[in-house]
Chains A and B, each alone.
Chain A
Amino acid sequence: MIYLSAIVVVGFALAPFMWVILSGFLPEVAILTVPPEWFRSGLIVDNYRYILTGEIPRAHEVGGQLRRMISEEVRHVPRAALNSSVVAGAVLLLNWLLGVPAAYAYARLRFPGRVATFYFITVSRLIPAVALAIPYFLIVQRLGLLDRHFALILIHTALTIPFTVLILVLYFRSIPVEIEESAQLDGASRWAILRKVMLPLALPSLVGAGLFAFMLSYSEFLFALLVTTSEYSRTLPVTLSSVASNPDVSWSLLSAGTTLAVLPALILVWPIWRYMVRGLVSGSLN
C-alpha cells in the first residue's frame, strides 16, 4: 500500500520529465504520426546536435524555410542557460554578501528597529510580483538599464534576500550563544565572530540558502521577460516559453532544448535536498 502510493506519486512527479527527455531523442515524424510511433524509428541525437552545432536534423531538411527559421530560436537555449547562470550566480553572491551579516544581526544583536525591519523584509515578499512589474519596467527603462543583466540581478536579489535572511536567522539562532561568548572574551569583533565562528558552523545552511536563491533567480520569469528584451540577453525561462509559444515549433527540438534547460535542476536537486530541505524536515532548525 505504501509502495503503491509512493510509485503513483513519483510517477506523477516524473512523468513529464520522462516524456520530454524521451521526445528529445525522437525524430519529429515519430511524434506527429497519428497514432504515434514513438519507438518505430529508434532514438536519434540530431536534435541535440542541431542545438549545439547548428547542423540541421535530417528530418528537417525537407521542411520549408519557415520551419528552419523557427527552429533556429531553439539554438539560443545554451546561450540563455548561460545568461541565467550568470544572473543567478551573481544573485547568489549578493545574497551571501548582504544576507549573511543581516541574518547574524537579527539573530544575535539588539538594536532599535530590529523587529520592524525584520517584518518589513519578510512581509515584502507578500506583495504580488505582477503588482511590481510595470513600475520595475518603467524604472529600469528610465535608468537606461533595459536589456542589461545588472538590473535583473538587483531585482532578483531584492526578491530572494528575504528568504535567505529568514533561513539563516533560524539557523544562527539554533547555534548556542556560549560558542560565541568565548570568542567575545578574547576580544573578537562581531565581524570576526561572524567570519571565524559562525560561518564555518553555518556552512551547510549557507549552501542551502544560496542554492535556493540561485534556483529562484534561475527560474524567475516575469521580471526577466520585462527586463531582458533581446534574444542575446534573455534568460532561460523567457527563451523557452518564447520558443514554446510558437505554434509551429518542432516538439522534438523543443524537448531537447527543455532537457538541456532542466539539467541544472536535475543536478542541483540533490544538494538542495541535502543542505536545505533535509535540515528543515529533520527539525534541526527547531
Chain B
Amino acid sequence: MPEQGVQAAGVRLDPVHPPRQLERDQPTAFIMIGGAVAIVAVFTLYPVGYALIGSLYNLSPILPRSFAGLMNFSHIFGSQYFGFALKTTAVFALLTVPAIVVLGLLVALLLDRRFRGDGFVKVAILLPWTIPAATGGVMWKGVFADSWGALNGTLYQLGLIREYISWLTDPTLAVAATTVAQVWAQFPLAAVLLLAAMQAIPDELYEAAAIDGASGLRRFAAVTFPHIRPMLIVVILFELLLALTAFDLIFAMTGGGPGTATTVLSYFIWSESFKMLSFGRGMALAVIIAGMAVILIAGLLRFMPRGALLEEVPR
C-alpha cells in the first residue's frame, strides 16, 4: 500500500478513523481477508449447491445419470433403515449431550477451585480431546472388546462377573459403549469452555453472595449459572451438532454394528453413498441432515440472551 506519512496530522486530529485513512485501508482489507474468505467460500458454497442439485438426480459411478426429482427424498423417507438410523442418532444425542454437559460442568466446577496439582488435572483431562476421534474409537474397542477387552478381563479378575459380557455384540450394550466413548472424547472441551466462562465471573459477585449467606448451591444458581448460560448454550449446540454427525468414533469402534444397532445417520449416508454407490440418495440424506441441524440450531439460539454471541464480532 502507498506511503501514509502525509496522513500523520490527520490521524492525530481524528484518532479513530479519518475518512482518507478509511479509504486507503479498504483495498488492504480486501486483500487481507481475500484468501480466507475465498477458500471458505469455495469449499462451502460450491459443495452445498452441488449437494442440493445432486440430491435431485440419480447419481452413481456405475449407472448413467438421470433426473430423479424428489424420488431420492421419498425413497429415504419411505425406507425403514432411515427410521432406524434417525432413532439411533436421536438416542445417541439424547444420551451423550446431557452426559457431556453435566460431566463437563462438574469438572469445570472442580477446576474452578485451586488445589495442589490442578495444573496436571487440566492437562491430563485434555488428552482424550486432542487425539483423533478414530483413534479414541480404537482405544475404546480395546476396552470393551468381548473376548479380550480390558473391562471384561478386569471385572473377571476382580470376581465381579462369572462370564464375559458381550459389550460390543449386544445391540443395547454397544450403544452404551459408544456413548461412554463419545462422552470421554467430548467432555474435556465442554469442561474447558465452561471453565473459561466461570473464570470470567468477577470475584466480587461471589463475595457479595457469601455476605448474604448464600449456600454453595444457592451461589451456583444465583451467580454462576446466569453467567455461564450463554457458554452452556454454545456447548450444548456444539455437542448436539457433533452427536448428530458422529462418524469417526463409531466407524472405528463398531462399524455401525452389531446389525444396525449403532448405525447413526452419518454412517447411513456413508454406506448409502460408498457401499450402495448411490450418490444422489446420499446427497439427499445429507440435505435432510443439514436441514435438521439448521432447524435445531435456530431453535436453540432462541434461548440465547441477546448480544451474547454478537459481542464476539468486531464492532
Contacts and interface: CB of A to CB of B under 8 A. Distances in A.
B59 to A, nearest CB: 8
Contact of B313 (A34, A115, A262, A265): A115
Interface stretch (A42-50, A56-64, A95-103): A95-103
Contacts of B42: 158
B127 A13 contact: yes
A241 B138 CA distance: 7
B124 interface: yes
B223 interface: no
A32 interface: yes
B290 interface: yes
Q: Is the interface of B mostly helix, strand, loop or mixed?
A: helix
A9 B184 CA distance: 10
Contact of B40 (A19, A158, A186, A254): A158
Given A13-B188, A109-B25, A130 B245 contact: yes
Interface stretch (B75-83, B90-98, B147-155, B209-217): B147-155
Contact of A101 (B26, B32, B139, B184): B32
Given A133-B286, A273-B122, A158 B148 contact: no
B307 interface: no
B312 interface: yes
Interface string A214-253: 0100111110001000000000111011001100000100
A124 B270 CA distance: 22
B142 A281 contact: no
A9 B44 contact: no
A144 interface: no
Interface residues of A, number: 109
A142 B204 CA distance: 61
Given A34-B164, A124-B40, A258 B138 contact: yes
A222 B113 CA distance: 38
B51 A266 contact: no
A162 interface: yes
Interface in B291-306: 293-294, 297
Interface residues of B, number: 107
A130 B269 contact: yes
B37 A14 contact: no
A20 interface: yes
Interface in B112-148: 113, 115, 117-118, 120-128, 130-143, 145, 147-148
Contact of A237 (B48, B118, B248): B248
B32 to A, nearest CB: 4
Given A5-B110, A161-B36, A241-B248, A38 B127 contact: no
B110 A221 contact: no
A23 to B, nearest CB: 7
A132 B248 CA distance: 15
A9 B121 contact: yes
Contact of A255 (B128, B142, B287): B142
Given A165-B36, A272-B130, A241 B137 contact: yes
Contact of A185 (B8, B51, B241): B8
Interface string A1-39: 011011001101111110110010000000110111010
Interface in A135-193: 135-136, 138-139, 154-155, 157-159, 161-162, 165-166, 169-170, 173, 181, 184-191
B51 A215 contact: no
A127 B266 contact: no
Contacts of A13: 124-125, 127-128, 184, 188
Pick the most buried of A6, A97, A188: most chain B CB atoms within 10 A of its CB: A6
Given A111-B26, A255-B142, A258-B139, A118 B121 contact: no
Contacts of B200: 283, 286
A40 interface: no
Interface string B246-283: 01100110010000000001100110011000010011
The 7 A-B pairs at the shortest CB distance, nearest first, are namely A187-B5, A158-B43, A219-B132, A135-B47, A98-B35, A102-B36, A101-B32
Interface of A: 2-3, 5-6, 9-10, 12-17, 19-20, 23, 31-32, 34-36, 38, 97-99, 101-102, 104-107, 109-112, 114-115, 117-121, 124, 126-136, 138-139, 154-155, 157-159, 161-162, 165-166, 169-170, 173, 181, 184-191, 215, 218-222, 226, 236-238, 240-241, 244-245, 251, 254-255, 258, 261-262, 265-266, 268-270, 272-273, 277, 280-283, 286
17 contacts: A16-B184, A102-B35, A110-B17, A115-B314, A121-B40, A129-B245, A130-B269, A131-B51, A133-B286, A134-B283, A138-B54, A181-B15, A184-B4, A187-B3, A189-B28, A191-B28, A226-B274
